[in-house]
Amino acid sequence: MNPSGAKTFKAALASLHFGEEPPLVGDRGSGTFFLSGCNLRCPFCQNWQISRGLIGKELTIDEGAEICLKLQEAGAANVNFVTGSHSIPQLIEVIKRARELGLTLPILWNSSAFEKIELLEQLAPHVDIWLPDLKTTEARWAQEIYGREIYAERARKAVKFMIAQSPLVYTEGGMLTKGTIIRHLIIPGYPEITEELIEWFAQKGKDRALLSLLSQYTPVHIPGETHPIPERYVSEEEYERVIAMLEKYAIDDGFIQELETGSDWLPDFREAEPFSADLSRVIWKSPSP
């Protein structure tokens, strides 16, 4: 059925999500399809209950396609596969089957960018919008924080591949239907990671993709795991350094979150409604353990 030989994949949630970037949401919500498991496993992951595979259900290709159609019927603006890099062959089959059954929505690929080009080449004919969460462009930070020195090189290549697939294309109402948004989380104590990434974007992505900077880092405690990041939120000084870098490179076509603190938005996938009601509406959910 697919090159990996696997006929199922594990997923935790499908929902109308209103917390993505504006041209992905509109007034309809992005049809987020959260996969269980992850090939990067960030040590501060807000979705650790599913990225560690603790919550989720094995689905067949047909079941996955049916969930895509449910998202469409619920009014989603797109189908947004979240963290599916470890299940690319299966998800290609899901998309193909959903198209056969009448899916017409844009497909959005939402990943850590820790992906090999040969797999992205297989995926590209089926994806309209790319949303890579680019952690860092430098090997030293990839090793220090994520324990994966190779991440930086692989992610840079992956993101350049994504940008090359299509220019930014919008509907008359301002919804993105093709193109790339590069997302990046500002890490407290490491403003230089973001500064280096902005410089890289200015050279490789400006005017061809959008940059979306997130200031929402929140201390998360994953049982049995530790990391070097300070136990705090992004500071005002760090935030201002990022703003200064955007001004230095005249990057004004994109998004940056306002600086806020708090953890009310953090999801709990053990609950019937993992996110707050103003952020998400559940369409399908795997049973909780």
Amino acid at the residue 164: A
For the purposes of burial, counting CB atoms within 10 Å of the CB of 95, is it exposed (0-12), middle (13-18) or buried (19 or more)? buried
Cα(279)–Cα(262) distance, rounded to whole angstroms? Answer: 15
pLDDT at 2 (0 to 100): 45
Cα(88)–Cα(25) distance, rounded to whole angstroms? Answer: 24
CB contact set of 223 (below 8 Å; sequence gap of 6+): none
Whether the full predicted model's pTM is greater than 0.75, yes or no, is yes
pLDDT at 4 (0 to 100): 47
pLDDT at 5 (0 to 100): 61
Residue 287 DSSP label: P
Phi and psi based region of residue 203 (left: phi greater than 0; alpha: psi -120 to 50; beta: remaining): alpha
pLDDT at 136 (0 to 100): 98
Cα(37)–Cα(84) distance, rounded to whole angstroms? Answer: 8
Determine the length of the chain: 289
Q: Could you give the domains of the chain? A: 8-285 (3.20.20.70)
Choose among 116, 251, 85, 110: nearest CA to 176: 110
Q: Which residues pair with 254 in a beta bridge?
A: 211
pLDDT at 288 (0 to 100): 78
User: Do 191 and 242 touch, CB atoms closer than 8 A?
Assistant: yes
pLDDT in tens, the chain (289 residues): 344 467 899 999 999 999 999 999 999 999 999 999 999 999 999 999 999 998 999 999 999 999 999 999 999 999 999 999 999 999 999 999 999 999 999 999 999 999 999 999 999 999 999 999 999 999 999 999 999 999 999 999 999 999 999 999 999 999 999 999 999 999 999 999 999 999 999 999 999 999 999 999 999 989 988 889 999 999 999 999 999 999 999 999 999 999 988 888 899 999 999 999 999 999 999 997 7
CA distances, 201 to each of 183, 206, 209, 258 (Å): 11, 6, 9, 21
